[in-house]
Every structure is written in structure tokens, then in C-alpha cells.
């Protein structure tokens, strides 16, 4: 921190994240998580510590710590002396993740119904309208993610939100594949609208039911895709 003081301003940070001097472990963790989630590292891929370390320009220590953290989240798994691999989800696992998300989404919707204000609901309605008009699958996928994230943010329950987030990360693949079908998107958004109506009406029981059913309908759509 001497002659380089001013230099920090000349080197713009990636402008997406604030520059919270993160340790290498977190950098590695984010990088690996991104690669797994975007498909660069498909399920089953062996994760060679030395190769990853070399690729990221760090030593194996931070890589091992990052892998240990990802192991806890369920994104990777491994056995002693056999290394880590990107977790492969069986159909039953995916189904379980759907169940979990349904449970959490129902809870969030019910809670939101009890604390909803016009100011809270307005942006949520905006998402539904935007999804209604969206024809691009990729854009819809992103909007859908943001919509659900907004629901949980508005519901104001950190643990349930965190658990939903974890479930999303674990089951991203099935959900993404499922939303590609345009018919699925229309059905899905109709469910969004119905759930929002219940929330706006302050009907917690109905909001919960619809919030759960929405995710379980997603599960059925995925199962249908799996079958045919």
C-alpha cells in the first residue's frame, strides 16, 4: 500500500462485484461453482486438484478448501484418496430437490401473504408481466430465477431463502431443461400469476398451496420430459 495507491482507481474492478478483498479460497470456490453451474464441468467430471490449481494460478491449499466447502453444499463429492468429482444427480435426487423447493416456496409464499404491501408486491408483478411477454427461453429462465429470488427476499426469512438457494444450485440442470419447452413456460407463469393473486389477497393458506403446487407442477413437467 505505497506507490500503488492511485492505481486501484485506474484498474476498474469487473464492475459486477464490489472488491471485498476475498481470500483465494473464495475466488476458487466461486470459479468452480460457476463452471459447474454453467456446464463447463459436467456432472461426473474428475476434479484434479493440481490441474485446477495450475489453471487458476494458485496452489493446492485454497483449491482443497474450496472443494471441501462445495462438498458440503452437495455440488461435488469424493472419497478419501480418490479425489472429488462433480456430483451426479440420479432421478430420485432431482425429485427430492423438487420436493424441497416446493416446501420452501410454499412457506415463503404464505409468509409473504401475511406481510405483503403494495410496495413489496409491485416489483413482483413486474416480473410476472415481463415473463408473460418473454419469448426467449434463456431470458425467461433468468427472469424466473430473479422472480423467485425476489419472492424469498420479500418473505424475509434468511434460512429458508438460503435453503432454497442451495436447492436451486443443486437442481439447476433439470429445471433449465424443463423450461426450454414453451408450453411449460406458459403453464409455469400462469401458476405464478395465481400464486401472486393469493399473496395479494393475503390468503396465506392458499398462497402456500399454490406456491407448493407450482414447484410440484415443475416436477411433473420434468418427469414428463424424462419419460418422453
Partner DNA sequence: TGCCGACAGATTGTCAACAATAGGTTGACC
Partner DNA sequence: GGTCAACCTATTGTTGACAATCTGTCGGCA
Phi, psi of 53 (to 5 degrees): -60, -45
CB-based contact 97:215 (threshold 8 Å) = no
Answer for the pair 114, 204: CB distance below 8 angstroms, yes or no: yes
- DSSP labels for 134-200? ---HHHHHHHHHHHHHHHHHHHT-HHHHHHHHHHHHHHHHHHHHHHTSHHHHHHHHHHHHHHHHHHH
Q: Which stretch binds its own copies (CB under 8 A): 128-136, 151-159, 175-183, 216-224?
A: 151-159
100's contact among DNA, its own copies, none, with CB below 5 to 8 A by partner kind, is its own copies
- Residue 17 is given by DSSP the state S
Binding region for its own copies (CB under 8 A) out of 6-14, 91-99, 192-200, 217-225: 91-99
What is the per-residue binding string for its own copies in 102-141, x denoting contact by CB under 8 A? -xx--x----------------------------------
Compare residues 83 and 156 and give the one whose CB is closer to DNA.
83
- From candidates 83, 126, 156, 202, binder to DNA by CB under 7 A: 83
Residue 25 binding its own copies, by CB under 8 A: yes
Binding flag, residue 100, its own copies (CB under 8 A): yes
HSE of 121 in the Cβ direction (CA atoms, 13 Å)? 19
| Residue 40 binds DNA (CB under 7 A) | no
Q: At its nearest, how many Å lie between DNA and the CB of residue 84?
A: 7
CA angle 120, 126, 130 (to 5 degrees): 155
**Interface with its own copies by CB under 8 A: which residues?**
21-23, 25, 61, 64-66, 68-69, 71-73, 80-81, 93, 96-97, 99-100, 103-104, 107, 157-160, 163, 167
Amino acid at each position: 500500500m505505497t506507490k500503488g495507491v492511485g492505481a486501484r482507481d485506474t484498474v476498474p474492478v469487473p464492475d459486477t462485484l464490489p472488491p471485498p478483498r476475498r481470500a483465494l479460497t473464495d475466488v476458487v470456490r466461486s470459479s468452480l461453482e460457476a463452471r459447474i453451474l454453467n456446464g463447463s464441468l459436467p456432472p461426473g467430471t474428475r476434479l484434479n486438484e493440481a490441474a485446477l490449481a495450475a489453471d487458476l494460478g494458485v496452489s493446492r491449499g485454497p483449491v482443497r478448501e474450496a472443494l471441501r466447502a462445495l462438498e458440503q453444499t452437495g455440488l461435488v463429492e469424493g472419497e478419501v484418496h480418490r479425489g472429488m468429482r462433480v456430483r451426479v444427480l440420479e432421478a430420485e435426487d432431482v425429485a427430492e430437490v423438487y420436493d424441497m423447493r416446493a416446501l420452501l416456496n410454499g412457506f415463503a409464499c404464505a409468509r409473504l401473504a401475511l406481510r405483503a404491501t403494495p410496495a413489496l408486491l409491485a416489483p413482483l408483478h413486474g416480473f410476472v408481466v415481463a415473463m408473460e411477454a418473454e419469448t426467449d427461453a434463456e431470458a425467461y429462465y433468468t427472469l424466473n430465477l430473479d422472480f423467485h429470488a425476489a419472492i424469498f427476499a420479500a418473505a424475509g426469512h434468511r434460512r429458508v431463502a438460503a435453503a432454497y438457494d442451495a436447492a436451486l444450485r443443486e437442481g439447476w440442470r433439470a429445471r433449465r431443461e424443463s423450461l426450454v419447452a414453451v408450453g411449460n413456460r406458459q403453464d409455469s407463469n400462469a401458476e405464478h400469476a395465481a400464486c401472486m393473486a393469493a399473496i395479494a389477497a393475503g390468503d396465506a393458506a392458499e398462497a402456500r398451496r399454490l406456491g407448493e403446487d407450482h414447484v410440484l407442477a415443475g416436477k411433473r413437467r420434468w418427469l414428463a420430459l424424462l419419460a418422453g
